[in-house]
């Protein structure tokens, strides 16, 4: 059986004693096993990183950028293989896997501009004969801990910026679909990155804890569910590290009475059910404003949902594939039952869906709930499956309050033709990323990604300038070159001012 090993100092020779199963979600069978490492394995990676990082940090940024350019070329050249590998472990359809990798590559494109990005600030003549300038220096060794749902994009969010800014980077991918980050690490070496700068250690909680406690790891970037994100944040910060920890989501789509409902239904189908709903920027809650909008929306949603094709990842006509594993399938179906028990109307029930010839695969049909209310647990919590909930609102203020008061605040969308309503909504909603007639407002790579409330712990976002700030520390230099003339001997007992 295929084994997915740690990737340390450019190779995968480290022996493992514990393993986890990697499923093929299309068939339900175990297709490979992944090494589950511990603190001793991490020590090996850290030792290699410590050896390699000073040289990499001293490499001029233009040369570091050239590695990024070459890496991008290699990923593009290997896109088919990578997308198939990603789909085979995650279950998303091939076109979606390509999108997953492409969104990560866009961060690499941003990193190709790192020489420009890292230019510091300079003030000539900040005081008499005094100049002030700043530089951004790498932290040393950074680590990334990533979720299963974007095994291409999220590792590249982190590794691209961490490495381009001169750090050594160690990633601990999700043990459910760990192969893609290993392939990325191999391609980085092929692109000219020194061994020890991009490494992969696999594992579960044991490895995560080893990372959080390791004294040589300066920063940890985490993406996953909120309880774990909070735990990682607290433990990492307590160990003196810089930590950013992105968590779960429950994104709402507000549908104003003047919205183009055909467009909304088209957008919602993809945003609610695409990737089987396993996206932190999915739209699992739709909020029609006014009774007429609710009735019309529901009427249009029903045939759109009936037309959804659930299939294996390689089915090019499928809209979405299986969920990641049997435990997650059971969890999503448990939430559907909970919704029924809580009194929501289950309009379309996706449970019990079987794909002919793939009866053991982890497939779930699309589900639609109506008359969901804010007191229901199935509304308060993230379901992370192909389940759309309709929460009806009487007016704009009521609709605005729903995402604003929800525990999660990752993304939100408003569908309207009214610029004033959209502007007002964007300004007032208590959520980190807003779409206006855009269902999945994942910002482009040179902007930045991050939610609010329980969707993110820490104060910097992923990628863009926020990412550069996270992976670097600022040094500010105040310089004076006295020529020995009068006035060079300032009174040293008074706090210096530039006045």
- Binding residues vs ligand NAD (CB under 6 A): 145-150, 172, 174-175, 204-205, 208, 223-225, 228, 246-249, 280, 382, 384, 410, 451, 455
Q: Closest Cα partner for 104 from 496, 418, 377, 467?
A: 467
Of the two residues 158 and 344, which places its CB atom closer to ligand NAD in the complex? 158
Closest approach of ligand NAD to the CB of residue 148, in Å: 4
Return all residues near 158 (Cβ < 8 A) that are at least 6 apart: 142, 144, 146, 169, 171, 221, 462, 467
β-bridge mates for residue 300, sequence order: none
- Minimum Å gap between C-beta 279 and ligand NAD is 7
User: What is the helix (H) or strand (E) element at residue 199, kind and residue range?
Assistant: strand 198-200
Which CB atom, from 106 or from 370, has the smaller least distance to ligand NAD?
Answer: 106
Q: Residue 150 CB, nearest distance to ligand NAD (Å)? A: 6
Q: Which residues contact 472 (CB under 8 A, 6 or more apart)?
A: 118, 136, 137, 138, 139, 165, 166
What is the closest distance, in whole angstroms, from the C-beta atom of residue 236 to ligand NAD in the complex? 11
Instruction: Copy the structure tokens of residue 376.
Output: 């229901």
Q: Which of 111, 112, 198, 280 is catalytic?
A: 280
Give 8's DSSP letter. B
Which helix (H) or strand (E) segment holds residue 86: the answer is helix 79-90
Task: Tell me if 67 sits within 8 A of 52, measured CB to CB.
Answer: no
Annotation marks residue 198 as catalytic: no
Whose CA is closest to 186, among 174, 202, 198? Answer: 198
Q: Distance (Å, rounded) from C-alpha 427 to C-alpha 70?
A: 41
Tokens at 42, concatenated: 């991490």
Choice between 195 and 445, CB closer to ligand NAD:
445
Q: Which tokens hold the place of 328?
A: 């997650």
Q: Which is nearer to ligand NAD, 269 or 461 (CB)?
A: 461
- Interaxial angle between packed helices 153-164 and 179-190, expressed in degrees from 0 to 180 and rounded to the nearest 10: 30
Q: Rounded CA gap, 290 and 431, in Å?
A: 22
Give Cα separations from 411 to 94, 245, 279, 450 (angstroms). Answer: 25, 16, 11, 9
Report which residue's Cβ sits closest to ligand NAD: 224
**Minimum CB distance to ligand NAD smaller for 20 or for 113:** 20
Nearer to ligand NAD, 106 or 382 (CB): 382
Which positions are annotated as active-site residues? 280
């Amino acid at each position: 059986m295929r084994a997915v090993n740690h990737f340390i100092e450019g190779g995968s020779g480290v022996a493992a004693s514990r393993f986890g199963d990697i499923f093929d979600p299309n068939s339900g069978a175990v297709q490979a096993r992944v090494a589950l490492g511990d603190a001793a394995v991490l020590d090996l990676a850290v030792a290699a990183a410590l050896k390699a990082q000073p040289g990499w940090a001293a490499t001029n940024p233009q040369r570091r950028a050239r590695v990024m350019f070459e890496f991008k070329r290699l990923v593009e050249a290997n896109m088919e293989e990578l997308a198939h590998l990603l789909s085979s472990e995650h279950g998303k359809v091939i076109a979606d896997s390509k999108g997953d990798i492409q969104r990560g590559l866009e961060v690499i494109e941003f990193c190709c501009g790192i020489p420009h990005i890292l230019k510091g600030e300079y003030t000539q003549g900040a005081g008499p004969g005094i100049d002030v300038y700043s530089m951004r220096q790498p932290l040393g060794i950074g680590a990334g801990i990533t979720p299963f749902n974007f095994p291409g994009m999220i590792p590249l969010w982190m590794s691209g910026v961490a490495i381009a800014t001169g750090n050594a980077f160690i990633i601990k991918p999700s043990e459910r679909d760990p192969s893609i980050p290993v392939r990325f690490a191999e391609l980085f070496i092929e692109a000219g990155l020194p061994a020890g700068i991009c490494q992969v250690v696999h594992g579960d909680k044991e490895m995560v804890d080893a990372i959080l406690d390791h004294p040589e790891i300066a920063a940890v970037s985490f993406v996953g569910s909120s309880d774990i994100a909070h735990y990682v944040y607290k433990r990492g910060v307590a160990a003196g590290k810089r930590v950013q920890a992105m968590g779960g989501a429950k994104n709402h789509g507000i549908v104003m009475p003047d919205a183009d409902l055909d467009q909304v239904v088209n957008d919602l189908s993809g945003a609610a059910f695409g990737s089987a709903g396993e996206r932190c920027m999915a739209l699992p809650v739709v909020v029609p404003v006014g009774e007429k909008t609710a009735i019309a929306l529901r009427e249009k949603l029903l045939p759109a949902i009936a037309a959804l094709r659930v299939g294996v990842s390689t089915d090019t006509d499928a809209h979405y594939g299986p969920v990641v594993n049997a435990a997650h399938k059971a969890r999503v179906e448990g939430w559907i039952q909970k919704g029924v028990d809580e009194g929501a109307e289950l309009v379309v029930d996706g449970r019990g869906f079987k794909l002919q010839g793939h009866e053991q695969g982890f497939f779930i049909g699309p589900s639609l709930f109506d008359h969901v209310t804010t007191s229901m647990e199935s509304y308060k919590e993230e379901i992370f499956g192909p389940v759309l909930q309709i929460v009806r609102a009487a007016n704009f203020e009521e609709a605005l309050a729903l995402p604003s008061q929800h525990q999660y605040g990752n993304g939100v969308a408003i569908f309207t033709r009214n610029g004033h309503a959209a502007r007002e909504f964007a300004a007032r909603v208590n959520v980190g990323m807003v779409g206006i007639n855009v269902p999945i407002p994942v910002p482009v790579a040179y902007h930045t990604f991050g939610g609010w409330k329980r969707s993110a712990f820490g104060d910097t976002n992923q990628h863009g300038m926020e990412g550069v700030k996270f992976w670097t520390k600022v040094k500010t230099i105040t310089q004076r070159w006295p020529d020995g003339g009068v006035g060079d001997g300032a009174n040293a007992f008074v706090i210096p001012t530039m006045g």
